[in-house]
Structure 1
Amino acid sequence: MNKLSSFALCSVLAATALSSFSGVAAPVSEVVKSDIRSASHKARDEFRNPQQTLNFFGIQENMAVVEIWPGGGWYSEILAPMLADKGTFYAAHFPSGTDVEYFNKHLPKYQAKIANTKGMEKTKLTGFHPKHATDMAPAGSVDAVLTFRNLHNFYMNGDEALKIALASSFKALKPGGIFGVVDHRLPEELDAEKNRNSGYIKQSVVIKMAEEAGFKFVAESSVNANPLDNAQHEKGVWSLSPTFALGEKDRAKYQTLGESDRMTLKFVKPSTM
């Protein structure tokens, strides 16, 4: 990503209806397979493991779920149709009305996507930014807040930005709600400050700061781990697929390496405070 940054259907008839999206929410396994999703996004499934990841977080089709900074909508193509009928999907994208060129370029693209993609029309578009917009959803209203490869963006701008992102997530959740994190993992033996702008962040830092924000750490999964990635690249995580920031330099090596080594962490907001 840029810096700024389950069960089978019972019949062939049902499967066909889902492929064109009937407007009825479906289990994650079926949405992942469906034609709702773009081919380029499906091509990343081997590295991003959406079905296993969402099952680990415990996401169900009757939940209210926030996705922080959904970017081009990779996970939104799964979450929005999954939640369309029985649940609610909040996309806490970049805020409007700022002077940040990157935000102003990519927010309209996402707005067009949800307007023109079957299954995404019910998306509730909100804005989030540690300085400009901190309410990603009504306080205490959602069952889960998910962030995919985003916490490092806030961390790159200082601990305070990450603290605000965590506090805003905590505020949006109901007691007992889930906070799910996937992010590029910096090896614990490396210097955190020297690598702050690399796009990687230590798992220990995420857990410590999330717990300081009030979350309880529940479990980790290795589903998105990549032991081949040592997190030491000339242009940080953006050297790897799918960005290939080095262009043709070492491209074959990075294609073989795949996407980054990622932590997958599940937290909850305690039911009693």
Structure 2
Amino acid sequence: MKNKKILIGLASLGLFSSFASLANLTPLQEKVWAAMKMEHRTEVDTARDRNRQPIQALEFIGLKDDMKVIEFAPGNGWYTKILAPVLKDNGELHLAYSEKWLADFDDLLKVDEISKAKKLPIELSWNRTESRYQLGDLSFGISDADMVLNIREYHNFNQEDKAKLNKATFDSLKPGGTYVIIDHSRRHMAPETHELRRREDAVKVILEVQAAGFILEKSSDMFYRPDDELGYEVGRKSVTGNTDRFTLVFKKPINIES
């Protein structure tokens, strides 16, 4: 009966597109679905479920409920509200953000299902002149993480800080650990403009992350949106909530040459 209710709910939300996928819901997907239905999620949160597809996305990237996960720059906690309950019993969730902005999570961290998530303060500020994040000295203080999530935030850094972020991520992961980047798509080789500042060229991202020592394991087109022309700022009415996004999954090599 429990699985039947879950499947009916998923179908009604349009989160799965075929009977085959409905019939093969994994244990991880069941946990994600249960977290999505919890009371701490607001109507604003649930309104984004169809577009962000957390059930498919978290399964694809290889999330397991016993992982030590660093969520980098969690924003308003949309993913935190799903990740924390999934990882609560067997894993760990570390929220890497400015200490000032982490204070905004105090009320959320009082919720029982979220309470085991841990604050991980880092030197991060907002450069109003460049409309970008700015990193100070960066170390996560962790060297055995299973996964680092960078969801729709990679575009917010200049080249120097991207290199710094990728190195710190590499150092924080155990051998074989996973680095996930999801971001808004920019047409390949399109110039840097204010209109495109919140979009990334996936080819460039791959090269930058590989330069830090990672291996590209897989990518997904689950967020392909054919009606996004890739030329407009992601907040414009014509594309907001329906941007084309790439999903890249990198691995830290198991055998690292010294």
Which TM bucket (shorter chain)? 0.7 to 0.9
**Equivalent position of 1:5 in the other structure:** none
Tell me the amino acid that sits aligned with residue 260 of structure 1: T
| Alignment pair present for 1:166 and 2:166 | yes
Q: Which residue of 2 aligns with 1:125?
A: 119
Q: CA RMSD in A?
A: 2.3
**1:177, distance to aligned residue in structure 2 (A):** 0.5
Task: Name the SS of the counterpart of 1:147 in structure 2.
Answer: strand
| Aligned residue in 2 for 1:152 | 155
Q: Name the counterpart of 1:237.
A: 234
Q: CA deviation at 1:133?
A: 4.7
Q: Which runs of 4+ in 1 moved over 6 A?
A: none
User: Per-residue deviation at 1:196?
Assistant: 8.1
Which residue in the other structure is 2:131 paired with? Answer: none
Which residue matches 2:139?
135
Q: In 2 relative to 1, CA 33–133 (structure 1 residues): closer, same or farther, beyond 3 Å?
A: farther
Alignment of 1:113-262 (within 5 A): 113-115=108-110, 117-128=111-122, 129=124, 131-139=135-143, 141-154=144-157, 158-191=158-191, 193-194=192-193, 198-233=197-232, 236-239=233-236, 251=237, 253-254=238-239, 258-262=241-245
CA distance, structure 2, for counterparts of residue 142 and residue 201 of structure 1: 26
Aligned residues of 1:32 and 1:78 also touching (Cα < 8 A): yes
Matches for 1:65-84 after TM superposition, within 5 Å: 65-84=69-88
Paired residue total: 223
User: Aligned to 1:186, what secondary structure does the other structure show?
Assistant: coil
Alpha-carbon separation, structure 1, partners of 2:150 and 2:141: 14
The CA distance in 2 between the partners of 1:271 and 1:9, in whole Å, is: 39
Normalising by structure 2, we get a TM-score of 0.79
1:156-208 CA-to-partner distances (Å, cap 9, x unmatched) read xx2111011111111111100011111011011522x3358620010011100
Tell me the residue number matched to 1:111: 106
Aligned-pair distance for 1:137? 4.3
For the Cα contact (< 8 Å) 1:71–1:110, is it kept in 2? no
After TM superposition, the score normalised by the length of structure 1 is 0.75
* 1:55 aligned residue (37, 42, 59): 59
What whole-Å deviation, never above 9, does each CA across 1:95-147 have from its counterpart, x for those lacking one? x3xxxxxxx4x4322233223x23111111012336335122412x1100011
d(CA) in 1 for partners of 2:246, 2:253: 22
**Partner deviation per Cα, 1:202-221 (whole Å, 9 max, x = no partner):** 00111000000011001111
Q: Which structure 1 segments of 5+ residues have no match?
A: 1-7, 13-24, 97-103, 240-250
**Aligned equivalent of 2:127:** none
Change (3 A) 1:173 1:9: farther
Which residue in the other structure is 1:3 paired with?
none
Query: Partners in 1 of 2:164 and 2:59 — Cα distance?
Result: 27
Asked whether the 8 Å contact 2:234–2:243 carries over to 1, the reply is yes
Secondary structure at 2:171 match in 1:
helix
Q: Using the TM superposition, give the Cα deviation of residue 54 of structure 1 relative to its aligned residue in structure 2, in angstroms.
A: 0.6
Q: Compare relative contact order (CA 8 Å, sep 6+) and give the higher one, 1 or 2.
A: 1
Aligned residue in 2 for 1:267: 250
1:127·1:135 contact (CA, 8 Å) conserved in 2? no
In structure 2, runs of 5+ residues without a counterpart are: 6-27, 125-133
1:31 equivalent in structure 2: 35
